[in-house]
Structures are given as structure tokens and as C-alpha cells.
Amino acid sequence: MKHTEQYSVLDLFSGCGGLALGFQNAGFIIAGGIEIDQAAATTASYNLFWRNGIDHEHLCEDITKSRVDILNFDVKTRPVVIGGPPCQAYSIAGRAKLNSLGENRSFHLDSRGQLYQDFLRFALKLDAQAVVMENVPDSVNYNGENIPHTVCEILEENGYDSVWTILNSADYGVPQIRERVIVMAVKKEVGELLQMPVPSHNRHSDYRTQNEARFPSFMSSKFFREPNKPADDAPKWVTVGDAFSDLPSLFSDPDQPYVPVKLNVRLPYKLEPQNNFQKQMRSMSGKVSGHAFRKTIRDFKIFNDMAPGDNYLNALEIANVHLKKALKERKVNQKDHPEEYKKIKKEFVPPYSADKFISKWRKLDPWKPSHTVVAHLGTDTYSHIHPWEPRGITVREAARLQSFPDDFVFNCTMSDAFKQIGNAVPPLMSKAIAKAMKENLSIAKEVVR
């Protein structure tokens, strides 16, 4: 008979709690957490504890300046330690931004590249039974260092059986192609790491990501393990259309006035659940909150004329067509009316560089999973334009692309909510990781017993 012990979890660099939510839904007890951003810590605390009547919270602390004893946590319990140290120093986008700020801000000088050490400091001090660490695929080459390999080496030196892999969230029922490095480790005195996450979904075609193509090169790391493959008869990847089709319609005509919707306003669903993903996401109330989108009036008409998959270059072409039409209607030309021309151009054409913004705008394809949801949504939502309404996606739609259930509440500003969602680990993928880790711990307990 399998052991049914409930394991305590310490959630470091928790963000708004996506990784912890998956573990909670798999039967783990979230015993504590640390997050440096107050808004994110509050979101995690509300959804993991307060809404369930639990008098507990994620601490808002700088982990680099914190000792393990700040936690109201019994170290004898030997928790499972999970977390995702910030990825800005590793990611291509983060590196480019840092390098653009000057030599003294180069990515290899960014202290965030070493935050995995603080993660390990807590895990080892607490003598964790198991460890799960998440990060971006670019962490395999940080200034020539393979960070997940280094983490596994350190864990092995301290008595752990460790592996790292790269998982695609779409394989776990998330309507988004989002690849992340996952380190999993179990204390050797407890047992060995036998079970890896089991995919629930299969891809639509022979589509292969850039990181999958790199798997053979990762074999040089003795700790790398290829992810499990889904069953041949597994359901196909969840698409954007699968994720959005039952949500309330907000903005069907680009000429209609923009009406702001507060995040706490609850709106009725447009349809009954149309698929299993929507059933998983839906709450029992029949209404949904967080369905608010940004006021980008100049661009609503551009969004309307973009086709699924279109990027910023396509958007510029569309904007210039709109400009030519307006100039003709207003009988203005650049040569004779230079100031009026500038004014009208500003009204219709985005001012961004065609060289730098190609991928910064993209219209979602309803027949495919989304591309990766990013924290930059906190600044704007041009990277994820709604597939059939002329607007950026809402907070709730972004949350669905990450597989946060509809009753997961964001008690914060719209910008904070988008940022938290973009930084999160998709709960459905996290749950698959948690189930695999529970199997490893349960098997180990049976062997010890």
C-alpha cells in the first residue's frame, strides 16, 4: 500500500504562487513562502491561504538578506523546497535590456544570475527532502556556465539524487508553448529520483521547438534527462480558442468607446464550458473577474485588421493604409501641410522602430497554443493581441493562457497582475511536477519502511 503522508512545501521566489498552487492542488501543504515583491506576495497569500480561512501569509522579504530563521517553520519537518529564482540575467530579452544600459549593467554582472545560490542555501539549511527549481532555458548558458547542471552538482555533493530537464507547458494541458528548465532532486537517504512528470497532451503535428533540437547537446551534462513523451492517444494541445471561447465578449467594434472594467467586477460567462480545459478553469459562481484590457485607442483599428500570427511589420503596413486614407479624406499632404501631416500620422501610426519591435506585436492564432506569456505584459499587451476582438488580451485571458483557474484573484493593479502572470509557473504544469515528486517520495517512504 502506498504511503499517503502530506508533505510540507517552502515556496521561494514565489511570485504570485503559480508553482505553489500546482503543488497545493496535488495534495502538498504550502507551509511558507518568500517573495520580494509585495503585490505578488499578497496575491499568493490571498489565493493560497486567506481565501481558505488560513491565517498565514507569504513573507515579503529580500532572500539575499534573510536567514532561514525568519520563517515560522519547524526545520525538523524537512520540507520540499520549490522556487524559481528570477530569470532576467539568463533570458535573451533580459540580457539585451541589461546590455543596452551600459557596460556596468552587462548581464554577466547582474547579481540575479547568482540567486540560485540563495535558493540552495535555504534548501540545504532546511535539509529538504526534495527540491524543485524552475528557470528559463537560457540558464543552460549563462556566461558559459550551465546553471541547472551547477545546481545539480551542488545538490549531489550534499546527498541528493538530481536531474534537470526542459518541459513544455503545452504538453501538460496549458494553452501556451512555454519551455522551462526544471531541476528535480530527492535526498539519497530517502530514495532515488525515479518518476518524471507525465505529459497529458500531444502536439498537433511534427512541430519541434528549438530547445528540443538541443536535447542531444545536453546529454554532455550527466544530470540531464529527456522529458517523458505523451501517449499517442493523448488529447491534442489546448489552443487559444479552446481557452477563450466561453469568456465574456468585451469589444467587438474598434469604433466603439472604450469602457474601463475594474479587475474585481464579475461578468457572466458567454457560454457554457465548451471543452475540458474550460471546465478545469471555471469556478462554480457562473461569473468571472479580472476581465479587463488596456486602453490603446490608436491601435484598436490596427488590431482589427491584423490576421492571426501577424507581427509589428504587418501592423505598420496596416497603419500606413489607414494613414493614407485619412490624409485623402482630410485633403492633407506631407509637402504642403507638414505640421498637420505629423499630427495625423501620430494619430494613426505607432512610433516604434520596425527593426526592434517586430516580435513585440503579435496577434494570437485561435487554432494554436499561445506563444510564451511574458512579464512585459505589465507594460503593454501588444505581444498578445486578442484573436478575434480588436484589443489586447485581458488579465483573465492572460491568466487562462497560464492555466490559472478563474477563481484565482488578482487584488492589485492591472499592470501588477499582468506582470505576476507573465512571471509565473503554469499551475497545470506545476501540478504534473508535484505529482511526479509525490510518487518519488511515496516510493522512497515505502522502501524505507
Could you report the per-residue pLDDT of 22-48, keeping only the tens digit for each?
Answer: 999 999 999 999 999 999 999 999 999
Torsion of CA 439, 440, 443, 446, to 10 degrees: -110
Rounded to an integer, what distance in angstroms lies between the CA atom of residue 35 and that of residue 14? 5
Rounded to an integer, what distance in angstroms lies between the CA atom of residue 448 and that of residue 192? 12
β 130-135/179-187 pair status: antiparallel
The CA-based diameter of the chain, rounded to the nearest angstrom, is 89
Q: pLDDT tens track of the chain, all 449 residues?
A: 344 467 999 999 999 999 999 999 999 999 999 999 999 999 999 999 999 999 989 999 999 998 887 877 666 678 999 999 986 555 555 444 444 445 554 444 444 458 999 999 999 999 999 999 999 999 999 888 999 999 999 999 999 999 999 999 999 999 999 999 999 999 999 888 999 999 999 987 777 888 888 999 999 889 999 999 999 999 999 999 999 999 999 999 999 999 999 999 999 999 999 999 999 999 878 899 999 999 999 999 999 999 999 999 999 999 999 999 999 999 999 999 999 999 999 999 999 988 888 889 999 999 999 999 999 999 999 999 999 999 999 999 999 999 999 999 999 999 999 999 999 999 999 999 999 999 999 875 555 55
Rounded to an integer, what distance in angstroms lies between the CA atom of residue 98 and that of residue 12? 24
β 8-12/29-35 pair status: parallel
H or E stretch at 180: strand 179-187
Radius of gyration of the chain (CA): 23
- Enter the CATH code of domain 240-423: 3.90.120.10
Per-residue burial over 219-246, b if 16 or more Cβ lie within 10 Å, else e, is: eebebbbebbebeeebeebbbbbbbbbb
Alpha carbon of residue 403 to chain centroid: 9
The domain segmentation of the chain, as residue ranges, is 8-236+426-448, 240-423
The model carries a pTM of 0.92
Q: Residue 172 has what pLDDT? A: 98
On whether the CB atoms of residues 424 and 404 are closer than 8 A, the answer is yes
Q: Residue 303's closest CA among 67, 37, 311, 221?
A: 311
Count the residues in the chain: 449
Give, rounded to a whole angstrom, the gap between the first and last alpha carbons of the chain: 11
Same fold, 8-236+426-448 and 240-423: no
Q: Residue 67 has what pLDDT? A: 84
Q: Residue 237's closest CA among 176, 182, 278, 179?
A: 176
Q: Residue 283 has what pLDDT? A: 80
Rounded to an integer, what distance in angstroms lies between the CA atom of residue 236 and that of residue 203? 6
Rounded to an integer, what distance in angstroms lies between the CA atom of residue 351 and that of residue 29? 49
Amino acid at 285: S
H or E stretch at 34: strand 29-35
Q: Which residues pair with 385 in a beta bridge?
A: 363, 392
Rounded to an integer, what distance in angstroms lies between the CA atom of residue 59 and that of residue 42? 9
Return the residue matching grid coordinates 520563517.
Answer: 71
- Enter the CATH code of domain 8-236+426-448: 3.40.50.150
**Is 16 noted as a catalytic residue in this protein?**
no
The dihedral built from the CA positions of residue 199, 17, 134 and 447, taken in this order, carries a sign that is: negative
3-state secondary structure of 81: strand
Main-chain dihedrals φ then ψ at residue 431, nearest 5 degrees = -65, -40
Q: Residue 103 has what pLDDT? A: 55
Rounded to an integer, what distance in angstroms lies between the CA atom of residue 448 and that of residue 442? 10
Return the residue matching grid coordinates 491565517.
Answer: 55
Q: Residue 393's closest CA among 421, 412, 413, 368?
A: 421
On whether the CB atoms of residues 389 and 293 are closer than 8 A, the answer is no
**From 16, 87, 152, 412, active-site residue:** 87
Q: Residue 108 has what pLDDT? A: 45
Q: Residue 401's closest CA among 378, 424, 376, 382?
A: 424
The DSSP call for residue 228 is P
pLDDT tens readout for residues 324-379: 999 999 999 999 999 999 999 999 999 998 888 888 999 999 999 999 999 999 99
Triad 204, 273, 416: Cα angle to 5°: 80
Rounded to an integer, what distance in angstroms lies between the CA atom of residue 41 and that of residue 420? 10
Triad 171, 197, 63: Cα angle to 5°: 100
Q: Residue 68 has what pLDDT? A: 85
